[in-house]
Structure formats: C-alpha cells, structure tokens
Structure 1
Amino acid sequence: MSQTHKLARTFLLLAILLLSLNLRPAIAAIGPLIQSISQFAQVRSIGISLLTTIPVLMMGLGAIYAASIRQALGERGGIAIGGAIIAVACLMRLWADNRYGLFASAVLVGLGIAVIQALLPGFIKRNFGASTSSVLALYSTGIVAGAAIGSGTASWLEDQLGWLSTLAGWALPAVGATVVWMLASRNSQYAGRSTAQPGAAAKGGSVPFWRIGRCWSLLLFFGIGTGAFMLAMAWISPFYIGLGLTKGVAGLLLSVLTIVEALTALWLSLTINRFPDRRGLLITSLLLVAAGFLMLIVAPLVAPYFAVSLLGVGIGILFPLSIIVAMDHLKDPTLAGNFTAFVQGGGFIIASLVPLTAGSLRDVFNDLSYIWLLMAVASLGMVVLAVRFSPASYGRFQEDLAEVQGGVLRTA
C-alpha cells in the first residue's frame, strides 16, 4: 500500500469518525437540560422523552428505506446531505423556545442521522473489506463518544451560553464534519445516485428479510441494545436529580457513563478481530447491562459511579457489537448494507419506545424503577438469543437467504 493511499485511507477514517461524533450530541444534550426545557418550554416528562423518541423513530424509518435512500441520493452525496440536515436542525434550535420548535428540530435531527446511518455501514464495508469490523467499531465508538461529549458539556455550556445556544451550538461541528467528509471521500468507492447495478434490487432492496427468523432475532437484539443506550442517555441525569443530587453531580454521573461507554467501544474497535466468535462478548455485555439497571433499583446511591460504570461497559460493548454481528452475516456490501438497514430499522423503532415508556411511567408514578427493571429483564432475556449467534450459523443464514431470494425458504 503506497504512502498516498495510506494517507487517503486515514483521512477517510477521520471523516467517518467526525461524522459519527455528530450522530448523538443533539439528542444526548437533552437530558442534562431537562430542567430548563421543562421550565421555559413547558414540556413534561413524556414531552422530554419525545425529544429522544422522535429522532430514534426517524432513524428506524430511515434504515427501513435505506435502499431507496441509496438509489435516490447515492452514498457519498447522501451522507453529506445527512450532515447538512443535522447542522440546520441544530441551528434552528436558537429560536426553538417552545415545544413545537423543539419537536420540529427533533424530526430534522432524526432525519439527518437516519440518512447517514442508513448509508454509512454499506459504504464502510465497500471501502474497508476485511477491516470492516474494526472500522464499524470505530464508527460506533464515535457515536458513543459524541454522546459523551454532548451530555458531558451540556450543563457547563448552559451556564455559559444558555440552553438554546447549547443545543444550537452542535451545528458547527456538523458543518465541519460534512466538509471533511466531502474532501476525504472524493476518491472512495461508493454507490452513486440512481446507479444500482443489475440485480442490485435482488441483492438487497427487495429481499424479504422478514421471512428469516435470524433477521428478527438480530433486529430485537439491536433494539434492546440501542434502547438501553438511549434510555441511559436520556434519563440517568434526571433520575439522580430526582434522588436529591445536584445538577452538576448528576451530569458528572452521566459523563462517567458515556466516557466509560466510549472507552469500552474504543477498546472493542482495537480488539474485535481477536474475537471471531462474538458470543462471549455479547453475553458479558448483557449481564453487565442487567446488573447496572438492577443496581439503579436496589442501591442507586450506595455506589452510583459503580452502577453507571457497569452500564457504560455493558452498553459500550453491546451497542457496536449488535451492528457488527449483523454485518458479519453477509459479505456483499450492498446486501449487507440493506440487511443491516432492516435490522436497524426495526431495532430503532423498538428502541424509540423505551425512553417514551420511561417518560410515561415517570409522569404516572414519579419513579423510573419500573423501566430499569424492564430493561434488566429484557437484557437477561437476550442472552438466550446471543448463544445462538455462532460463526457457523452465518453460513446457514446465507443458505436461507439464497432460498428466500429464489422464492423458497428452507423449512428444516
């Protein structure tokens, strides 16, 4: 590999990382600002949850229509459009001092994120081949790190700039990431606008993934993992404020959680190739997530930093690995991208219900213990699915997929 090619590859990795860093701050900053949003925008708990639920729901819808988005926009241009939409959505929050403006910006934020997340995994597999798992883990690390930065700086920025400017300020890094992307991706391999190859629809766009049980298992797995991520990001800080801790300490706990998530995801990106069989990592992550949520129920104030660290390590493994395992199942970049879009589409829709349920329960019971328990039970239940995700099962899945594409699903 020539020095020029290495530099171009590194620049492209930087662009992917910068884009991923911008996929969560506009959502993650909501939790630490809940008091100001409630006071000045007159938004109750369920409304606060909608500011998280709406973008996640948009991500799900965007993933479902990933093949159409790819053909309409192309991968390179579509990803740039997604970055621009995020920037516009954040900027409009300068004037979003009421619930309607906040909800409208949440829709746009979700749309921009949805476009990028629908297109980037397939682009990564197309350009990085055997290194796809590591690059996907780096991409996931950026998502988690962006959440850490967004949540960790929100309270401090609010004190300096006010809550509206804090939310709007994320337009600047979104613009920067989009510019870097356009420069770095000029010579990359990508599916262009309306340039699907012959048979491309058959290779992904029209495949009835829903007819294969493994697709639903992976969809549910991704939904639970992402739901845990979104729930912690949206409600850990308000939960501890409700227990009597100061806004600063509650924000610090959220920062610890997201920083641990980011460091764990970074570790995963560096070591993922040592674990061709992902099941040990998956089961470990699920047990840690369940333990963290249970600690929030039985002893939230005894060792709060330990509790959020358990969640951080668990989610830091589970969130990126749920994407990686889906991508592991297929080799063709277009088909793998569309399959991952199916998994993420349904998974994000499931995940969008988690913070909404949390807000509803909080309004009714003034307590989040019920949602912590629900997520702990769900995480333990996912262990039953995780033990089945062996490397050998990928081949059986590909056989099932070939038969579905031929119109006959293997019943054995």
Structure 2
Amino acid sequence: MSTARRVLLIAGIVVVAANLRTALTSVGPLLGPIRADLELSAGAAGFLVGALPLLTFAVVSPQVSRMVKRTGVDQLLWLGLIVLVIGILLRSIPVTALLWIGTVLLASGIAVGNVLLPGVIKRDFPGQIGQMTGVYSATMNVVGAIASGVAVPLAGTLPGGWRTALGFWAGLVLIAVAVWAPQLSRRATTAAGADDLSAQGTTTTTTTTAVTPWRSPLAWQVAAFMGMGSWIFYTMISWYPTVLHSFGAGEAAAGWLLSVYQMLGVVMSLTVPVVLHRLADQRMVAVAASVALVVGFLGLLLAPDLAVLWVVITGMGSGTAFLLALSFFSLRAADARSAAALSGMGQSVAYLFATVGPVLFGALNDVTGGWSVPLWVLIVLATAQAGVGLRAGRDTQVQT
C-alpha cells in the first residue's frame, strides 16, 4: 500500500469513527426537553435514547458479516454511513413516528461501522492493532464528548431547539461519506477479509482454537466483558446528566460533565495502548478499569458534592474498559476473518445485554424515586465485569 493511500485510509478510519457516537451522545443532555415535548416517562425515555439503539445494534451486528459477502467491507461501511445520515435527518423531523424510525436507522448505520472497523484494522494494520484501536477509540470519545457538551447550547441557539441540535451532526456524517469514498475502488472482500486476507494479521499466542465464535467460551467472555461495559457506558450516556443535575449540577454544567466523562475516554484510549503493548495479557488492566468504575459510583452515592472527582474516575474506568473491549475483537482473533466474526458475534450479544441498562436505570428511578438503587446496580455490574475481565484478558485466540 502506497504512503498516500495509507494516509487516506487512516483519515477515513478516523472520520468514520468520529460518527459512531455523536448521534447517541448528543441526546443525553437534551433528555429533559425531549421528555417534556413528547411527555415520556423515565422508562420510555430510557428506551428511546438507550435501549432502542442498543437493541438495533444487537439485531444488525450479526447480519453484517452476511451482508458484506455481497458488497465488500469498504463498500458496506460506506453504505452504513448513508443509512446513518438518513436516520439522523429523519429523527430531526417533527413527526413522532420518524423519531423512532430515524433512531433505528441511525443505530443500524452505527452498528455496521462498529462491526467492520476492527476487521479493517486487523486487515490493514496487523502490526499496530493497539495503536490504531486507540486512535479510533479516542476519536469516538473526543467527538462524542464535544457532541454532549454543545448539545444544550446548540438547542438554545438554533431554530427548532433540540430537533435541530440533533440533526446538526448529519453534516459530519456527510464529510465521512466523502472521505471514505476513495476506498470504494478497492476490490470487494468479505467481512473478515476475503480468502486472500484471511491470513493477514495472523498472530501467534498461547492457544488458537478453530471454532465458530458462538461455540467458543473465550468469545462469550469477550462478549460478556463488552456487554457489561456497554450497559454501564450507554446508561451513563443516557442518564448521567440527569443524575448529576439531581445532585445539584446545572443543566449545562451536567452536559459538560458528561463531556469530561467521555474526554477521559480519549486520554485512556491514547495511553492504555502503550501499557498493553508491554504486558503479556490484559487481565490486570481489565480489573483496574472495573475497580475504577466501582469507586466512582460508590463515591457519587456517598459524597455527591465531589461529583467532578467521581466523573473523572468513572470516565477513566469506562474509557479503559471500552478500549479493551474493542481491542479484544482483534487481540483475541487469529486473523482478520476471525476478528470480524468475533466482532459481529460479540457486539450482538453485548448490545442485546446492554439494552436493558438505560431502561432499567430509568424504571428503577420511577419506582424508588431516587438514584441510589440504580447506581447500586451499576456497582454490582462493574464488580462482575472485573471477574469476566480475568478470563477475557488471557493471551489466547479464536480462529473461525
């Protein structure tokens, strides 16, 4: 691959990654006015902004590897961006039904990118998996954080309020459509990499097991680790501003604290790969990330006046856990084809599990009238994630 084409590919990965969170993270800070306009209960709001996208991820993710056989990796990724921009625009139209339809479409587009990018990195950057995963994870975090931080100001400035503020991000997707377009000239390949790519990125570790990921205990451990992390992350994206506001933060300040939470993910995405490169496996890093989440949630319960500190700690834990989950799809796979298969299976299971998170969090608030019980659920989940991380972080691989 020529230097110019390599640079263009990296730019494409970065700009695609920039669009894999904004359509979701821009909603949380606006949940108050959305609920008021649509007269939604906390449980219904949690389903709309959290559970529905995650349920869509769970349904679409395992289908990606089948669809890609007809289109090719790069081609399907571009089509996913088209679906994403259509979904964002439809969601912004003041028709209630289109709000739901648009959410399903934009989540479908994001699911395609979520599944395919680990395979693209395994295929084209087999020697720089940690670094490239860090780059695209950091990009998702920083742009997602910006989307959270500017959501309330945009809604207050642009005509149309929260609807226009959500539709604003369609412009960024159109940029990604243009930047990724040169990759369409590449020969169509299968999701995991076609036969000529199946050996690319192959690495040697302690154990390589030839089995479908659906029958691999290791694949289920990877899926469980991502599922627990996704439950926590998407619950926070949906409800953190509301929780912080109830503890005394202003509406705009709560939105910016959500940005801080996500920006810490950027820091961890850029620093953790340096550590991972020097370790024999990722078990202790997985445990450390989970412990940070437990400390952050406990702190928010016991000393809410120190909310900024707890946001920082949970942001570090969540950012590290998310980077590990993404890295596992490549690190636990023997080659590019296995990476895409593991990614599709793992994300399907993880997002199906995480679908419960935002809805349950809101429903528990409706029932109890407070945030203590919902936060204790997250503490228990983060503790369980530490145990799963000890298994998913082992130096072994799946080959499909």
- After TM superposition, is the score higher than 0.5? yes
Q: How does 1:90-169 map to 2 (within 5 A)?
A: 90-96=88-94, 98=96, 100-161=97-158, 162-169=161-168
Q: How far is the alpha carbon of 1:389 from its aligned partner? A: 4.1
Matched, 1:7 2:10: no
Distance 1:72 1:320 in 2: 30
Q: How far is the alpha carbon of 1:128 from its aligned partner? A: 0.8
Query: Which amino acid in the other structure matches residue 296 of structure 1?
Result: L
Counterpart contact for 1:222–1:319, Cα < 8 Å:
yes
Partner of 2:204: none
Aligned with 2:277: secondary structure? helix
Q: How far is the alpha carbon of 1:196 from its aligned partner? A: 5.4
Aligned equivalent of 1:287, options 278, 287, 291: 291
Partner of 1:81: 79
Distance 2:231 2:139 in 1: 18
Distance 1:193 1:257 in 2: 33
Matched, 1:228 2:226: no
Distance 2:300 2:9 in 1: 40
Q: How far is the alpha carbon of 1:76 from its aligned partner? A: 0.8
Q: How far is the alpha carbon of 1:166 from its aligned partner? A: 0.3
Moved more, 240-249 or 187-196: 187-196
Distance 1:49 1:329 in 2: 33
Query: Which amino acid in the other structure matches residue 360 of structure 1?
Result: A
How many residues align? The count is: 386
Matched, 1:243 2:247: yes
Distance 1:198 1:188, change over 3 A: closer
Q: How far is the alpha carbon of 1:390 from its aligned partner? A: 5.2
Matched, 1:170 2:172: no
Distance 1:317 1:188, change over 3 A: farther
Distance 1:189 1:128, change over 3 A: farther
Moved more, 239-248 or 156-165: 239-248
Partner of 1:355: 358
CA deviations 1:39-80 (Å, max 9, x no partner) are: 212222122212221111211222222321211332111101
CA deviations 1:292-340 (Å, max 9, x no partner) are: 111222222x211100001110011100111212321222201221012
Partner of 1:381: 384
Query: Which amino acid in the other structure matches residue 159 of structure 1?
Result: G
Counterpart contact for 2:91–2:103, Cα < 8 Å:
no
Distance 1:97 1:246 in 2: 30
Matched, 1:180 2:173: no
Partner of 2:59: 61
Matched, 1:52 2:50: yes
Q: How does 1:15-26 map to 2 (within 5 A)?
A: 15-26=12-23
Distance 1:332 1:246 in 2: 48
Partner of 1:219: 223
Q: How far is the alpha carbon of 1:270 from its aligned partner? A: 5.1
Query: Which amino acid in the other structure matches residue 87 of structure 2?
Result: A
Segments of structure 2 that go 5 or more residues without pairing to the other structure are 199-209
Distance 1:193 1:66, change over 3 A: closer
Counterpart contact for 1:210–1:216, Cα < 8 Å:
yes
Distance 1:246 1:76, change over 3 A: same
Q: How far is the alpha carbon of 1:368 from its aligned partner? A: 2.5
Q: How far is the alpha carbon of 1:188 from its aligned partner? A: 5.5
Distance 1:388 1:15 in 2: 33
Aligned with 2:128: secondary structure? helix
Query: Which amino acid in the other structure matches residue 224 of structure 1?
Result: M
Query: Which amino acid in the other structure matches residue 121 of structure 2?
Result: I
Distance 1:198 1:155, change over 3 A: closer
Query: Which amino acid in the other structure matches residue 255 of structure 2?
Result: G
Aligned with 1:367: secondary structure? coil
Distance 1:257 1:194 in 2: 33
Distance 1:14 1:269, change over 3 A: farther
Provide the TM-score with structure 2 as the length reference. 0.90
Distance 1:172 1:22 in 2: 10
Partner of 1:408: none
Identity %: 25
Query: Which amino acid in the other structure matches residue 29 of structure 1?
Result: S
Distance 1:218 1:250, change over 3 A: same
Distance 1:227 1:189 in 2: 37
Matched, 1:315 2:318: yes
RMSD of aligned C-alpha atoms? 2.4
Distance 2:21 2:193 in 1: 31
